[in-house]
Amino acid sequence: MTTTTRTILCLTVIIAAVALMAIPQAAAQATTWQQIPIPALPPFHPPQPKRIQLSNGMVIFLQEDHELPLISGSARIRGGSSSEPVAKVGLVDMFGEVWRTGGTKTQTGDQLDDFLEIRAAKVETSGGPDSTSISLSCLKGDFDDVFKIFVHVLRNPEFRADKLDIAKKQAEDSISRRNDEIGEIAARESAKLAYGADNPYAREPEYSTIAAITRQDLIDWHQTHVHPNHIILGLSGDFDAAAMETKLRAAFESWPKGADLPKNEIKFHPSAPGYYLVPKEDVNQSTIRMVGLGTTRNNPDYYAIAVFNEAFGGGFSSRLFNDIRTKRGLAYNVGGGIGTNFGHPGIMQFVAGTKSQSTIESIQALDEDIENLTKDPITEREIKNAKDAILNAFVFRLDSPDKVLAERMTYEFYGYPADWLDKYPAEIQKVNAADVNRVAAKYVHRDQLAVLVVGNTKEFDKPLSSLGPVKTIDISIPPPPGAQKENAEEENSNPTVSNVEGKTLAAKVVAAMGGEAKLSAIKAVKASMTLTQKTPQGDFPMQMESVIVYPDHLHAEMQTPDGAINVVVTPDAAFMDLPNGQVQNWPEARKAETLEQIKRDPIFIAAHSKDPNVFFRADGTEKVGDTDARIVDVNAAGAAIRWWVDPQNGRILKETYRTIGPHGPVQGETEMDDWKPVNGINLPLLRHNKQNGQDSSTSEYKTIELNPAVDPKLFEKPAEKPPAQP
C-alpha cells in the first residue's frame, strides 16, 4: 500500500511538469488561453482498498468511503460465457438473471424483491464473458439485512423454473430484435469478423441454444463455479474496515474450497480480409467497420498503442475525427484504434457512419487515412498532444474510491500486478515517435482488415463490389426449433447464401449417399413401393411405381381397388389419368408444387450441391430420436426444404417442407429410415410422412433402378376415352 501511494505521488509531479512545460508564465489578465496560469496539481493520495485473502482462497478488498451513508459492493466469480458449451450459448446470461430472480432455498425471488425494494436496496446478479457477479447496494443502516440476502443468493440459490421461463422469453425477445438497428448489427458482425464467428467472445445465443438450457444447467454451473477460491469480493462505502473484515470472515471463512476450474483455451480466427456486406433496406445511413484482431494490455506495446489510438482515432484531436468529420463532413460517428482488453485480445477497428450516398467515398477516406500512416507518420507534435491528453486525464481514473477499488479487482482477476495503473503514466511518458510509428506499422495493415458495411445498397454511391470481391453476410435469424410448422408461410427460411457449416454438412450428406460423381450421373430413377395412406378409417396400402427424369418429369402409376391411376407432371402438362378413362388436369399450383418436389428430392439436391443457386445454411441443433441433429435449411434452385442431418454420419434423418394436401397448403414432414446401399448409392428405403403434424402416409421402397430406359411416351397425354358405363 505504501509503495502505491509513493508512486502516485511521483506521478502527480510528472503530470504537473508536463503541464508546466506547455504553459508559459502567467499574465495578470489573460487574453489568450496560453496565458492562463496552471498551478501544479495538489498532491493526491487516492485511498487504496485493503486486501484480505481468506484461508479458503477468497480475496476481499475493503474500501472505506464516508462521503455518503451508503454501502455497495460486488463479488466476481471466475468462469463466464466464454466457457459455456456451444450448444447452450446464453447459459451464463440465463444464469446471471435467474441466480437472483429465482430466489433462495428459503425465499422466492419475488419475496426478495419486496424485502429489498422497500429499503431502496439492491442485490443483483449478472453474467459476463469471463465471470459472473453478484452485487449489493444499500443505505448503511440496512447493511446487515441486505448482506444476509447477498450471502444467501451467493450460496443457496434455488433457480426456480418459472423465472428461467421469463428469462428465456426475454432472451428470445432480444434475439428477435437483434437486427432492428444497424449499430447493433455492425457491432455483432464485426466482432465475428475480428474473432471468428464461433469464438466465444463473438458468438450469439440462438433460439435453439436458449431452448436447450435447463434449470439443471444453472444448478450445475453454480456448483462448479461458485466457490470461495474463485471469488474476488470488493466492498466500498460508509463502514469501518476492521469491523467489516470481522463480519466477512464470520460469513465466509468456514466456506470450503472448491475444485479448480479447467483451463479454457480460446482460439481466435479473424476472417479473411475483404469486403463483407449486410444489406439493410430500411436505413439511409451506412455503418462501416474495418476490423482485425487487437491485443491484450500486458503486451509491452500497450503504451505505444494507447498513444497511437489517441492520436489516430481518439477524440477531437485525432486524425480520423479531423479528416472525416471536420474536413470532409462525412460522418457524425468516426474513430477507432487498436483495441485492447485485460484477458483476451481486443478488436482493432476503424469506424464511420455516413449517408448511403457516401459509403464508398467514406471507405476510401478511411483507406487514405490508414495508408497515410506510412507516407505521413504520426508527428512529434501529434504525439505530444496525445500524451498530454492521456496524462492530464489520468487523475480521472482514480477520482473516486469506487474506481480505485474496481481497478484493483480487475488486476487481481486477470493476474496483473497490483500497481499496474501506478506505472501507467511513467510508461506513457516514455513513448516516443519511433514507438508509435513502430506499433502502427506492426499492427495496422489496411490489406489485412475485414471491411464490414451495413447499409442500404441501392442508395450507395457505387456498388461495394467496385472495391473488390464482396461476401454477403446472411443475418436472418434461424427460427425457433419447431416453429416452422406454425408459421412457415411467414418464416423466410429459404437461405440465399450458404454458411460454412451448412456447406460442410451438405458435403457430408453427399458423401453419405455415395459421393458427388455417382450422384450426378443419375439422370432418372425408377422405383416401386408400397404407399400406405393413414386415414381415420385405417391404413390403406397400395402399390406404386414411379419414374422421375430429372429435373422436371414425373410419371407415377398407382394400383387402386378401382384400377390404375397414372399421374404425369412435366413443365408442359400435369394430369391424372383415371381408371374410368377420364383425364383430369391438375391446377397450376399443384403442378408447380410437384415440380418443386422433384427439386426437393435428396438425390437431386445432393447431385447439385455445388450449383451456384443451391444454398445450405446450418441453423441449430435438435433431437431426432436420440440423435442431436443439425438443422440445415436448403434452397434448391428456389425450392425450400429443411433437413435434420446426423452430423456423425451425414444421414438426413428428417425433412420438412411446404406442400399441398387434400385441403390446400400444408406443412409436410418426412422421417427417413432404413438407409441401404442401392446400386452403389445409399438411400432411405422407409419414409414416414406427416402433414401438419399428423401421420399421413408411409412409403416402403421395394426396388430402385438407376438410369432406367424411359419411354418418352410415358409423359404423353392419352386421348380421352368415353367414360365407362357403370
Partner 1 sequence: MKLTLRSLAIVFILTALGCAQDVASFEKRIRVKQLPNGLTLLVCERPEAPVFSFFTLVDAGSAQDPMRQTGLAHMFEHMAFKGTDTIGSTNYAAEKVALEKVEVAYAAYTAERDKGVGRDEAKLKQLEKTWKDAIAEADKYVVPNQFGKIVEQNGGQDLNAFTDYDETGYHYSLPSNRLELWAYLESERFLHPVLREFYKERNVVIEERRLRTDSNPIGRLLEQFDAAAFEAHPYHRPTVGWMSDLNYFSATDAKKFFDKYYVPANMVVAVAGDVKAEQVMPILEKYFSHLPMSQKPDEATTIEPPQNSERKVELMEQSQPLYLEGYHRPDYRSKDDAVYEAIADLMSEGRTSRLYRALVRDKKIASFSAGFSGLPGTKYPHLFAFYAFPLPGHTPQEVADAIHVEIDRLKKEDISDDELKMIKTRSKANLIRSLGDNEGLATQLATYQTRYGDWRELFRSVDRIDKVTKADIRRVANETFNDTNRTVGVIETTKGTGHGSNQSSADPASQESGSPDQGGAQ
Identified binder of partner 1 from the candidate list 92, 94, 149, 331, rule CB under 8 A: 331
State the Cα–Cα distance between residues 587 and 573, nearest whole angstrom: 10
Least distance from partner 1 to the Cβ atom of residue 64, Å: 13
- Closest separation in Å from C-beta 497 to partner 1: 9
Of the pair 333, 585, the CB lying nearest partner 1 is at: 333
User: Phi/psi of residue 538, each to 5°?
Assistant: 125, -175
Q: What is the β-pairing status of strands 563-569 and 553-560?
A: antiparallel
| Positions of E strands within 101-217 | 122-127, 131-139
Residues between 195 and 214 with contacts to partner 1, criterion CB under 8 A: none
CB of 110 to partner 1, least distance (A): 8
Q: Residue 343, Cβ neighbours under 10 Å: how many?
A: 19
- Out of 281, 447, 588, 626, the only residue in the binding site for partner 1 (CB under 8 A) is 281
Interacting residues of 380 by C-beta distance below 8 A, sequence separation 6+ = 433
Tell me which amino acid residue 312 is.
F
Which of 33/537 has CB closer to partner 1? Answer: 33
Name which of residues 664 to 693 contact partner 1 (CB under 8 A): none
Shortest reach from residue 288's CB to partner 1, in Å: 12
- Three-class secondary structure of residue 301 per DSSP: coil
Least distance CB 579 / partner 1 (angstroms) = 41
- Nearest approach, Cβ of residue 706 and partner 1 (Å): 34
Q: What is the CA radius of gyration of the chain?
A: 34
CB of 363 to partner 1, least distance (A): 15
- 109 lies in the site for partner 1, by CB under 8 A: yes
* Closest separation in Å from C-beta 181 to partner 1: 6
Helix axes 2-22 and 380-392, enclosed angle (nearest 10): 130
Counts for the chain of helices (H) and strands (E), in that order: 21, 27
Among 14, 139, 219, 637, binds partner 1 (CB under 8 A): 139
**Which residues from 375-434 bind partner 1, rule CB under 8 A?**
385, 388-389, 391-396, 398-400
Give me the least distance between CB of 386 and partner 1, in Å please: 9
Question: For residues 298 and 584, what is the distance between their CA atoms, to the nearest angstrom?
Answer: 78
Binding to partner 1 (CB under 8 A) within 431-490 occurs at 474-477, 490
Residue 712 is a binding residue for partner 1 (CB under 8 A): no
Q: Which is nearer to partner 1, 326 or 466 (CB)?
A: 326
> What are the E-state strand segments in 17-146?
50-53, 59-64, 70-78, 122-127, 131-139
Interface pattern 485-524 for partner 1 (x via CB under 8 A): -----x-x-xxx----------------------------
Residue of 144, 165, 674, 695 interacting with partner 1 (CB under 8 A): 165
Q: Which stretch binds partner 1 (CB under 8 A): 107-115, 343-351, 568-576, 684-692?
A: 107-115
Task: State the binding string over 117-136 for partner 1 (x if CB under 8 A, else -).
Answer: xxxxx---------------
Size of the site for partner 1 (CB under 8 A): 92
Q: How far is the CB of 393 from partner 1 (least distance, A)?
A: 4
Supply the minimum distance, in Å, between the C-beta of residue 238 and partner 1: 11
Name residues contacting partner 1, limited to 518-577 (CB under 8 A). Answer: none
Q: Which residue has the cell 390404375?
A: 564
- Residue with the three cell numbers 474476488: 232
Rounded (to 5) percent helix, strand, coil in the chain: 40, 30, 35
Q: CA geometry: angle at 509 spanning 504 and 510, to 5°? A: 95
Q: Does the protein bind partner 1 through residue 612 (CB under 8 A)?
A: no
- Please write down the long-range contacts of 152-157, taking CB distance under 8 Å and 24 or more positions apart: 152/104, 152/105, 152/106, 152/107, 153/99, 153/100, 153/104, 153/112, 153/123, 153/125, 154/75, 154/226, 155/226, 155/255, 156/104, 156/105, 156/106, 157/99, 157/100, 157/102, 157/103, 157/104, 157/105, 157/222
Measured distance CA(505)–CA(495) in Å, rounded = 15
Q: Which C-beta is closer to partner 1: that of 70 or that of 542?
A: 70
Based on the shown chain and the rule CB under 8 A, indicate whether residue 81 belongs to the binding site for partner 1. no
Please name which of 15, 62, 352, 59 lies closest in space to residue 183, comparing C-alpha atoms: 352
- Site track 28-67 with partner 1 (rule: CB under 8 A), x = hit: --xxxx--xxxxxxx-x-x--------------------x
583 lines the binding site for partner 1 (CB under 8 A): no
Provide the grid cell at 107.
425465499
Contact assessment for residue 581 and residue 720, using Cβ atoms and an 8 Å cutoff: yes
Q: Which is nearer to partner 1, 113 or 204 (CB)?
A: 113
Footprint of partner 1 on residues 297-316 (CB under 8 A)?
A: 314-316
Q: Name the residue nearer to partner 1 (CB basis): 180 or 265.
A: 180
Among 4, 5, 170, 679, binds partner 1 (CB under 8 A): 170
With contacts defined by CB under 8 A, name the span among 108-116, 196-204, 300-308, 599-607 that binds partner 1: 108-116
Least distance (Å) between residue 461 CB and partner 1: 13
Supply the minimum distance, in Å, between the C-beta of residue 657 and partner 1: 17
Q: Name the minimum Å distance from CB 317 to partner 1.
A: 4
Are 295 and 305 in contact, with CB atoms under 8 Å apart?
Answer: yes
Q: How far is CA 604 from the centre of its chain?
A: 33
**CB-nearer residue toward partner 1: 182 or 449:** 182
> CA-based angle 167:155:418, to the nearest 5?
95
Q: Provide the Cα torsion 60, 61, 66, 72; round to 10°.
A: -60
